[in-house]
Amino acid sequence: MVSPLETFYARVARGQARTGIGYGAIKPKLPVNYRELTSTVIGDLSRIPLLELPPGFNYTAISIVGQSMSDGNPVPGDHDGMATFVGPRGTTILVRNHELDPDENEFGNTSGVIAPPEKKYDQINAGGTTTLVVGPARRLVRDYASLAGTIRNCAGGPTPWGTWISCEETFNRGDVGVVRHGYNFEVPANAEIGLADPIPLKAMGRFSHEAVAVDPATGYIYETEDRGDSCFYRFVPAVGKPNAPGQLVQGGKLYALKVVDKPTLNTTNNPNSGGSIGLVPVGVPLKVEWVPIDNPDPDVEDKAQGLGVRYEAQSKGAAIFYRGEGAWYAKGLIYFVATQGGPPAVDSTRGNGQVWVYDPKAETITLLIEAEPSGEILDEPDNITVAPFGDLFLCEDGGGEQFVVGVDTKGELYQFARNAYNESEFAGACFSPDGQTLFVNIQSPGITFCIWGPWLGKR
């Protein structure tokens, strides 16, 4: 998207509208497999349009909370971040997070991700991941628990060596004094039933993680942090460029992004959050450097004492982002989201969101998109993915109606899908390896969708 970005920035500078027609007007549709949805934990879904989509697009609804999985346990709730991998015999492997706290009790699902005690990182926590094997007809072939005993597994990211890195969005929330939380975990993308060993990747940092994106050219892993005063991180593995599961446990070095000559730059463009309106213009690259984190695994977080990963980073001049969330690698660039960055919204002191792009070769970050205060075009983007044909897809997590918002290669924003079932957030958007299917969740009550249609049609 590097070349099209130039057109996009020019349009912004001229004050031109950024709204496009996308694939056309979205309308309510029943899932193709509606006959299979008569009896679910959440009721009869066979006559309910769950999504609104453009003409020519269809979807199936699979792996719904409470349904029985292939390992005999119920599908956990709070579906969140996901990624896809090539499976055997034309299948797609989908690894999916579950953002569960230990005390959640949705639809009687008190146990969350179920696993034997020896395969649970923490015996009291309900989060983790499940793995789905999806057939060419977008029907479920197999699903099972693949990581257990973690907490608030929000997003993460795929690796080039065939694993999913699942991130805990917390600093602790476990058996205090017994089991520490706030880590990343690696989950192999397997087609056969099996649980990953729950080994925390401590060198990647202990903080409120959100997502990761891996640069395949270097093996560096970029990390976001979901806090109002978060930083953006780079992890350099000790093994050099990893090429197999399990190598990340050997450690590495953690760094935080700093804007050159602008120490502790507050990128929010919001005076309510310590920034100022227009301080960082859209489309202007900022040179960056990386400051080392000496203590990636702190015992406590304390701003007054400068204890904690982000506080150490900011003491060394690291830039501040308002709630770093989704991250994705595509064509040499790392895209990441600041969900509540930007100038104050009309109905809030917080912003409606920003999308940033980091260029590893140029060592720059650029504010790609800043949502309008009205929130009409984009309202608090969270997860992000980049389609094989170049468009960005953003999962909203604001109030009221929830949309998947596309951004085409001309820089025009369009509504691609609406949650027609309720007002729960979209999460986990990702394309199948062949680029034909978009997988996405609505988090609550927990439904995974497989969407297909004329992706290369006029936008």
State pLDDT tens for residues 272-282: 988 899 899 99
State pLDDT tens for residues 87-133: 999 999 999 999 998 877 665 555 689 899 999 999 888 899 999 99
Distance of CA 436 to the CA centre of its chain: 20
Confidence (pLDDT) at 382: 95
CATH architecture of the domain 2-452 equals 6 Propeller (2.120)
Bridge partners of 58?
452
Q: How far apart, in whole angstroms, are the C-alpha atoms of residue 193 and residue 363?
A: 41
DSSP E strand boundaries for 285-353: 286-292, 324-330, 333-338
Distance of CA 133 to the CA centre of its chain: 20
* Residue 176 reports pLDDT greater than 60: no
| Least confident piece of the model among 54-68, 107-121, 212-226, 414-428 | 107-121
State pLDDT tens for residues 208-238: 999 999 999 999 999 999 999 999 999 999 9
State pLDDT tens for residues 296-354: 999 999 888 889 999 999 999 999 999 999 999 999 999 999 999 999 998 889 999 99
Phi (first) and psi of residue 106, to 5 degrees: -85, 125
Q: How far apart, in whole angstroms, are the C-alpha atoms of residue 441 and residue 104?
A: 19
Q: Please report which confidence band the pLDDT of residue 21 belongs to, taking 50, 70 and 90 as the band edges.
A: confident
Mean pLDDT of 146-166: 96
Please calculate the CA angle 24-328-265 and round it to the nearest 5 degrees: 110
Contacts of 185 (CB under 8 A, 6+ apart): 121, 147, 150, 165, 166, 168, 196, 198, 199, 200, 201
Phi (first) and psi of residue 119, to 5 degrees: -105, 5
Residues 338 and 168 sit within 8 Å (Cβ to Cβ)? no
**Residue matched to tokens 């997070």:** 97
Mean pLDDT of 229-252: 97
Q: How far apart, in whole angstroms, are the C-alpha atoms of residue 310 and residue 232?
A: 9
Cis link prior to 343 (omega < 30° from 0)? no
* Residue 204 reports pLDDT greater than 60: yes
Confidence (pLDDT) at 439: 98
Residues 309 and 206 sit within 8 Å (Cβ to Cβ)? yes
Percent of the chain with pLDDT over 90: 81
How crowded is the C-beta side of 355, counted as CA atoms within 13 Å?
30
Residues 90 and 136 sit within 8 Å (Cβ to Cβ)? yes
Q: Please report which confidence band the pLDDT of residue 17 belongs to, taking 50, 70 and 90 as the band edges.
A: very low
Q: The tokens of 333 are what?
A: 């660039």
Residue 304, number of CB atoms within 10 A of its CB:
6
